[in-house]
Amino acid sequence: MTAELDAIAQKMVADGKGILAADESTSTIKKRFDSIGVESTEDNRRDYRELLFRSEGMKKYVSGVILYDETIRQKAKDGTPLVSLIQAAGAVPGIKVDTGAKPLPFCPGETITEGLDGLAGRLKEYYDLGARFAKWRGVIDIGAGIPSYPAVRANAHALARYAALCQEAKIVPIVEPEVLMDGDHDIDTCYRVTEWVLKTVFEELYYQRVRHEGMVLKPNMVVPGKKSAKKASVDEVAEKTVRLLKTCVPSVVPGIAFLSGGQSDEEATAHLDAMVKLGDLPWKLTYSYGRALQAAPQKAWSGKAENVAAAQAAFTHRAHMNSLAALGQWSTDAERKAA
């Protein structure tokens, strides 16, 4: 079982490929569809995700896809299970298994991610449906007096319990502790909080006997808050993120697939590229983006069948740029030439 888990984890961080986060909840994708004037029906959600899974970018640049409960059960218009489309493209199907962040008692403004109850049974069902990896997101906010010790510890413990249950079910866990970039904090505050969070997460993973070789880490980058008066250069983000990860992440972890966390498409690509270019890294660095891969194809598609090819081209372009970044080969010139 351990060899199977390790092989899947390695495939998820294959050179020049990354993970497509297509696990938006029904309420989240409704907001995305509202912004492009598309009704969020089950058929429209299926059609949109099907066009991504049938794209050239999917075959060339995507190693895995995180699905939502609805999507892992859906079939394409021609009756082919969407999971089969992902597998045919050479990618690994995955599944979001947490049930969202809820208020944490006695910790105003902070949350705990729920979904551990009954998880073992759900994982068995998802394995039978084709999932070979899973995702669980713990959310940590920075603000006045937060994060607190209870919030960091509780979310780290939940992530570790989830990861242990996944490995027991022959499913690779993506461990996603996200320090949000919503505040006005500077980059050094993000560094300190992310260091605290990651060290606590790996402590809990150790206590839960999670094998580092059979997991993938999905962290935030070290960036200033969106409302911060102090901006950071691409090189500063790259240097501080890599320095932090080297102090917190065991070298046997096969790979780190970053979340974009609200960065623009090109920012997320540029930051990843700069980190890879630093070299001397014990683990693979790649992407696990949602909005940073999907904003352009959603806009191009706008719910119209005649726009499918344009949407697929937009997705392939963004996936190609991030593939170049994961190889340390991206540049603004490459971005313009391929556009």
Beta strands in 215-301 (DSSP E): 216-217, 255-258, 284-289
User: Per the residue annotation, which of 135, 218, 240, 284 is the catalytic one?
Assistant: 218
- β-strands 255-258, 284-289 pairing: parallel
The Cα–Cα gap between 46 and 180 comes to: 29
Q: Residue 176 catalytic?
A: yes
**3-class secondary structure, 74:** coil
The Cα–Cα gap between 151 and 313 comes to: 42
The Cα–Cα gap between 3 and 82 comes to: 27
Beta strands in the chain (DSSP E): 18-21, 62-67, 92-96, 101-103, 111-113, 133-140, 172-179, 216-217, 255-258, 284-289
Residue 250: left (phi > 0), alpha (psi -120 to 50), or beta?
A: beta
Instruction: Report the candidate in 161, 336, 163, 205 with the shortest Cα–Cα distance to residue 266.
Output: 336
User: Per the residue annotation, which of 110, 176, 178, 204 is the catalytic one?
Assistant: 176
Q: Provide Rg for the chain, Cα atoms.
A: 19
| Residue indicated by tokens 């962040």 | 101
Q: Residue 218 catalytic?
A: yes
Q: What does the block give as tokens for 162?
A: 């989830």
Q: Which residues are catalytic?
A: 176, 218
